[in-house]
Structure 1
Amino acid sequence: MGAGGNGDTVRADVVVLTALEVEYRAVRAHLEDPHPVRAERGALFELGVFRDGSAERTVAIHMTGPGNPGAAASVERAAALFAPRALLFVGVAGGLKDVALGDVVAADAVYDYETGKDTESGFLPRQKTHQSAYGLVQLARLVTVGDAWQRRIRPGDDAPRPNAHVKPLAAGGRVVAHHRSDVGLRLTAGAGDALAVDMEGFGFLAGAYLNQQLDALVIRGISDLLGDKGEAHDERWQPVASRHAAAFAFELIGRMPVAADAPADRPRAAGARTPAAEAPVSSAEASAPAADEPALFTDASAPAAGTRSPAADEPALAADASATAADTPALAAGTRSLAAGVGPGRPRRRLTVRDLGVLAETLLAVSGMTSPARWQQLLDELPTVGTAVSRQSAGRAEALSLLRTCETRRAMGELAEVVAVLAPDDPAAAEFARRVEEFGLE
């Protein structure tokens, strides 16, 4: 399905993040030949193969450490390095209600219980919520109703047979040790339908939210219940809960549709040259395979009433993937639209990780673009996409997020036009417009 490449190009179908070593070991046990790949801004990943019958999927794994901030940062690094089709956070959590030790919760939503206002009369919650990807939640529901995932549990001890649930989680930076603690009471009042609490789920989904086209899901095994937490307890139940969560995660990965990838996208021996290094790819070769690739997941807002979920293995509709000259907005002055070269009915080529990196570097090379004021000015001129991108700074992560959003919403030509207006005499702006044209983007 996917591929791992050499030094410059690494691909993974799925990236699995964990916070703790015990969780990482449980996930790693499901992979064949896990091996390290180059670091992405200091973050170290391993890449392995998960085989399920005749199908195989390339899976990257990474340990973020505890806390929401590290989880959010790791999402961006994983997206930039692997361009995965799905991202999972797998590990342990503390049970709040309606769960037993060893049970698994796949989060359809995660609440940030720490957001609020601390006043003289007490804490006033202003709770924020992020949702997991609709398609992954639907797939998790299918896994939950059967017991196939339980057969994937790695041997350990005689823990009771676990159950699985698809319900909300709550997340924050504190270890909640009792239901009558300040946070415990707050969770009861403000997150009454949450089955468990963790420390990374909200940051993880917040990071995925900033990366368009990235589907994410949190999967947790219950390692303790509020009021029943201690070192001896963790030593007994954290390995059990980690194995159960990992088993559920890999059953879900095994049910993800397998794309009919070209041979160039399959894993190759270390040191082998990638096709990109050997010869340029023609526009016909670049666009043709996408027509055969099945759709994986959609946003929660995408499916219309009565339509089937893409998780049912339906191929992507050519009409949604094609670009015609009539639909193509004009690019910056002096550039030529390539829509005519793509041709009616043909799907657009999706940007590779390398393409995105080149465009991001070129965009940030435009004079003044890395300053917060110029970055906000750029986003203000892009009303259709600017609200979906972080406005606090202009770094590589923000540039990649903007480019993915523009690609998804077919606003790359509009972006090139705005850049040209903001920096009319800048060679980098002209180079950015040229590259947008070269890639055949709208």
Structure 2
Amino acid sequence: MIVVLTATEAAYGAVRALLPDLSLHETPAGTLFEVSGSVALGLTGTGNHAAAALTERAIAEFSPAAVFFVGEAGPLRSWLEPGDVVVATKIYAYEGGREDASGFQARPRAWEAPHRLEQLARHVARSFTGARVEFQPIAAGEVLLAPGAALEGRLHAVYNDAVAVDMESAGLAGAGHLHDATPTLTVRGIGTAAPAAAFALAVIAALPSSGARTGHVIKNIVSGDVNGVVVQAGVVQGNVIVHREHDDFAAAVTAAARSGVVDEVTFARVMLALHDPRPGPVLRELLADHPDLLGLL
């Protein structure tokens, strides 16, 4: 399971529009998620505190393999343009500090992006045509920053490598830090969440389809099931060999996406559908205009 969190209804809608066959999932405390195959989508509301609380709740509920935060960010660099995507390589919680007669001395917290997840995102970005994707630090605080505000100058002076600012990423990173086995990644669109949603789902589609993991460690699993091995009670470690009957089909769809025959949104949906136990009906609907690809099923 992968969790995708958003702070606003606009970002939620951008992700939701890309997910087929949604079903409602309610936690014991009443928090609602919508689930599509291996993806659970949730809304945190704005602010780092809300993001931290809902990230913690999502991890406890789903034991996900990763948590993504998708939404918009404000640019701190003039070369960022509306529609660009920023993947956070580092998150600064910029409001930490000390204030005295001499002024403000920053005492930030910072979290690096998980190496494996960042590496996978960079790999996906090399063939992603939906937007320009930048891998840069992001600053996060509780202040809604307007252009020209005095705080913008402090961010430039103290957090000089941060290229964008948001209000939730520090909460996500802080909560994820408490769970060693749950990597978190922030994916933000400049001015709009739609390209960030498409890129995040492309990364999710490229993730291995191993299942939930807590508890026992299970090694050297061999499976002939297209969906990999789903172990509700353990971590899968060691050499995992999965023989997929749809490998040729997935390779063909990937090639079609890279050549522009299949658009990025359809590609992401197809890759997600391959994680479902019975992907056939969804795939036939998504690729109705591509009988050559459907012939490989």
Q: TM-score, length-normalised on structure 2?
A: 0.71
Match of 1:254 among 199, 202, 205: 205
Question: Aligned pair 1:116/2:97, yes or no?
Answer: yes
Q: 1:122, CA displacement in angstroms?
A: 1.3
Matched residues, number: 226
Paired with 1:40 and 1:103, the residues of 2 have a C-alpha distance of: 38
Match of 2:136 among 147, 167, 188: 167
Describe how 1:164-313 pairs up with structure 2 within 5 A: 164-179=133-148, 181-223=149-191, 241-259=192-210, 291-292=221-222
Secondary structure in 1 matching 2:104: strand
Paired with 1:121 and 1:292, the residues of 2 have a C-alpha distance of: 63
1:317 is matched with which residue? 238
Q: CA RMSD in A?
A: 2.3
Contact 1:40 1:77 in 2 (8 A): no
Provide, for residues 71-90 of structure 1, a one-character-per-residue CA deviation record: whole Å limited to 9, x for no partner.
Answer: 11111111111111010000
2:42 is matched with which residue? 62
Match of 1:100 among 64, 76, 81: 81
Contact 1:40 1:81 in 2 (8 A): no
Describe how 1:23-34 pairs up with structure 2 within 5 A: 23-34=11-22
Paired with 1:167 and 1:145, the residues of 2 have a C-alpha distance of: 16
Contact 2:218 2:237 in 1 (8 A): no
| Bigger proportion of residues as strand | 2
Percent of residue pairs bearing the same amino acid type: 38
Secondary structure in 2 matching 1:252: helix
Which residue identity lines up with residue 20 of structure 2 in the other structure? E
Contact 1:144 1:166 in 2 (8 A): no
Describe how 1:321-360 pairs up with structure 2 within 5 A: none
1:401 is matched with which residue? none
Secondary structure in 1 matching 2:52: helix
Q: 1:291, CA displacement in angstroms?
A: 2.5
Describe how 1:68-87 pairs up with structure 2 within 5 A: 68-87=48-67
Rg larger in structure: 1
Change (3 A) 1:287 1:73: closer
Provide, for residues 148-197 of structure 1, a one-character-per-residue CA deviation record: whole Å limited to 9, x for no partner.
Answer: 4x1xxxxxxxxxxx311111100000011124x22111100111111100
Unaligned runs of 5+ in 2: 230-235, 240-297
Which residue identity lines up with residue 6 of structure 2 in the other structure? T
Secondary structure in 2 matching 1:204: helix
Change (3 A) 1:32 1:250: same
Contact 2:128 2:199 in 1 (8 A): no
Greater relative contact order: 1 or 2 (C-alpha under 8 angstroms, separation 6 or more)? Answer: 2
Paired with 2:165 and 2:34, the residues of 1 have a C-alpha distance of: 27
Paired with 2:219 and 2:64, the residues of 1 have a C-alpha distance of: 17
Secondary structure in 1 matching 2:193: helix
1:37 is matched with which residue? 25
Secondary structure in 2 matching 1:178: coil
Contact 1:110 1:129 in 2 (8 A): yes
Question: Aligned pair 1:139/2:123, yes or no?
Answer: no
1:361 is matched with which residue? none
Secondary structure in 2 matching 1:140: helix
Q: TM-score, length-normalised on structure 1?
A: 0.48
Secondary structure in 1 matching 2:221: helix
Contact 2:141 2:167 in 1 (8 A): yes
Which residue identity lines up with residue 91 of structure 1 in the other structure? G
Paired with 2:238 and 2:97, the residues of 1 have a C-alpha distance of: 44
Paired with 1:84 and 1:35, the residues of 2 have a C-alpha distance of: 17
Unaligned runs of 5+ in 1: 1-12, 50-57, 151-161, 224-240, 266-285, 296-314, 319-442
Q: 1:40, CA displacement in angstroms?
A: 4.2
